[in-house]
Chains A and B, each alone.
Chain A
Amino acid sequence: MKLKNGSTINLFYIPALILMLVFVAYPLGQAIYIAFTDWNGYSQHLNFVGFSNFFNMLKDGNLHTALLNTLIYGFGSAFFQNLFGLLLAVFLNSKFRGHSVVRTFVYLPVMIAGLIMGYIIYYFVQYDGGVFNEILGWLGQAPLDFMADRWRAVGIITFINVWQYTGISMVIYMAGLQSISTSYYEAATLDGANHWRCFWNITIPLIVPAMSTAVVMNLIGGLKLFDVIQSLTSGGPGFATHSLSTYISNQYFQAQNAGYSSAIGIITFVLIVVVAGVFNSFFSKHEIEA
């Protein structure tokens, strides 16, 4: 039966649509337009410069660093958040007394702003009086300047992000595990399968839908990483720990290179859409009906 007022119902999405057109679609158009200009961010004048902002990206070493870091933040976060999230979910799913206390604590950091998390970790990595150097001292080691080395700094930032948001993938996997009917495991055990075989041949295939959501969410989150970098290193030392997001804001507000900044933004957008699209279609090929 067709609903009465079948098309007046459509009026309901007009407000949302207008809001998004004015504050997302129009700025997106602006951003694309500015990407082809030499606008500095405040002047009344701007010149159309064609693709030169995009060509400049090819020879900007700092941008290449930011791009590589962004990929590390994105893929590193997604890999470890899902690995730890799945392990924690399997562990907590084994139902021992107090398992929900562990779940509470693992999820807790999700409540804390990424920015504040960066500052808290500063208490750990600070050279003088930092917790890590104190622990190194107990072990009789010389203190380290943790954030001075590029790769160590990038690794620490990735792990803060992993540590903070593993709770989300854990909860997604716990829900996924609970949706798997125990009859599969019973049947497999009757056929003589051990725990390991059950895990690889039942749990993993049936958890692909949960995995697909968790992986894509974490990838997007990691590729967008901004606040924790801003608070912990501001992209430094030099430009060594910038992500594309922090580099975009650096180019706009510090370097006053709005046209160039906007061009990087467009490329970042395309990068995230492509990565998310590739992973989505990869997972949807491997999903099976439970």
Chain B
Amino acid sequence: MNTIDHRFAKNWWKYLLSILIVVVYCLPLYVLVTMALKKMTDTSSRLQLPTSLYWGNFTELFAEGSIGRALLNTAIITIATVAIEVILGCMAAYPLARHRSRFNSLINAIMMGVMMIPPLSILVGVYSTLISMHATSTYWGMIIVSAAFGLPMPIYFFTKFIRTIPRSLDEASQIDGCNTLQTFFYIILPQLKPAIATIVILNGVGMWNEYGYSLYILQKPEMYTLTLTISQYFSSGANNLNGAAAAACVATLPMILMFLFLQKYFIKGTADSAVKG
């Protein structure tokens, strides 16, 4: 007992500082949630807890319907984009990691070059390309553009990862009579699971929250994603800030829940994706 008291006495400033940091980080979310649970006519301080929980903002939100469609659109676009990034990313990384030639290092350099292009800087080119393909306001247009710009990171990450898998595994499987395709599917792919998990969660969050290309590619309201729908709630007159807060809660909650359950993967993934190979 005494030692615990002693440790606490020595570390008291760490706890004080911790509380301060947590408060600074919770405050915006706290205000958002209390706003969502108050009536529009409730003019009490935004820092004050609601006197009674008012769920009307949420029932109105779902009754109006656009948020449900936005959840569906966002889920479709996020899942498809991440799936393409993972599948094409693993496939592309395999030869780049295993077959080092001058041509392949050129390919590698091109992919890294793509990583440097800020998507909005060539907005005009992308948009006019999509118009000529009749791909604006379609799932596939949005998915394929996002996947193309998102691919270099997974390729870079998977290449780094495959290089850490001993080459003797490939050789052993080929002696046993596997061809390249079989070696890739049976030997390399199972080893890549942790790297795939990292890409799925990091790029998944990125796509869920995407706003930029979706703003221009998805112009029909029935194609709107969550971010586009939320911006409608906030900008259309912007007088029902409580209803808008409820919409923002609905859009954010899935990602927050996912983070709380998969926290260690997010932390590890962020650290891994930053370490140079």
Q: What residues of chain A have their CB less than 8 Å away from a CB belonging to chain B?
A: 1, 3-13, 15-17, 19-20, 22-32, 34, 41, 88, 91, 94, 96, 98-99, 101-117, 119-124, 129-131, 134, 163, 168, 171-172, 174-175, 209-210, 212-214, 217, 220, 223-224, 226-227, 230-231, 244-245, 248-249, 252-253, 258, 261-262, 265-266, 268-269, 272-273, 276
Contact = CB atoms under 8 A, between A and B. Distances in A.
B276 to A, nearest CB: 6
A175 B122 contact: no
Given A23-B149, A105-B26, 6 more contacts: A26-B125, A27-B129, A34-B125, A108-B256, A123-B46, A249-B123
Given A13-B107, A94-B14, A107 B266 contact: yes
A19 B147 contact: yes
Contacts of A9: 94-95, 98-99, 180
Given A20-B148, A104-B263, A248-B120, A123 B31 contact: yes
B170 to A, nearest CB: 6
Nearest to A178: B271
A230 B216 CA distance: 13
Contacts of B18: 96, 98-99, 101-102
Interface size of B as a range: 35 or more
Interface in B140-175: 144-145, 147-149, 151-152, 155, 170-171, 174
A16 B91 contact: yes
B61 interface: no
A266 B121 contact: yes
B212 interface: yes
Nearest to A32: B125
B179 A28 contact: no
Interface in B2-46: 11, 14-15, 17-18, 21-22, 24-29, 31-32, 35, 43, 45-46
A168 B179 CA distance: 41
Given A111-B256, A172-B271, A227-B211, A120 B31 contact: yes
A88 B122 CA distance: 36
Contacts of B109: none
Contacts of B152: 20
B255 interface: yes
29 contacts: A3-B170, A9-B99, A15-B88, A15-B92, A16-B89, A27-B129, A31-B122, A31-B123, A31-B125, A34-B124, A34-B128, A98-B18, A99-B18, A104-B263, A108-B25, A109-B28, A111-B259, A113-B209, A116-B230, A121-B28, A123-B28, A124-B31, A130-B46, A171-B267, A245-B121, A252-B123, A258-B124, A261-B124, A262-B124
Contact of B15 (A98, A106, A113, A231): A98
Contacts of A23: 126, 129, 144-145, 148-149
A262 B33 CA distance: 40
B105 interface: no
A106 B28 CA distance: 12
Contacts of A98: 15, 18
Interface in B77-93: 84, 88-89, 91-92
Contact of B121 (A41, A121, A265): A265
B191 interface: no
A250 to B, nearest CB: 11
Contact of B123 (A107, A121, A175, A261): A261
B216 A24 contact: no
Nearest to A270: B121
A105 B21 contact: yes
A140 B36 CA distance: 29
A223 B148 contact: no
Given A15-B91, A129-B46, A245-B120, A102 B271 contact: no
Contact of B96 (A13, A168, A172, A276): A13
B241 interface: yes
A5 B184 CA distance: 12
A226 B120 contact: yes
B59 interface: no
Nearest to B269: A171
B138 to A, nearest CB: 13
A10 B259 CA distance: 37
B255 A112 contact: yes
A30 B127 CA distance: 10
B251 interface: yes
Interchain residue pairs A-B with the least CB separation, the first 6: A31-B125, A27-B125, A113-B209, A175-B271, A30-B125, A23-B148
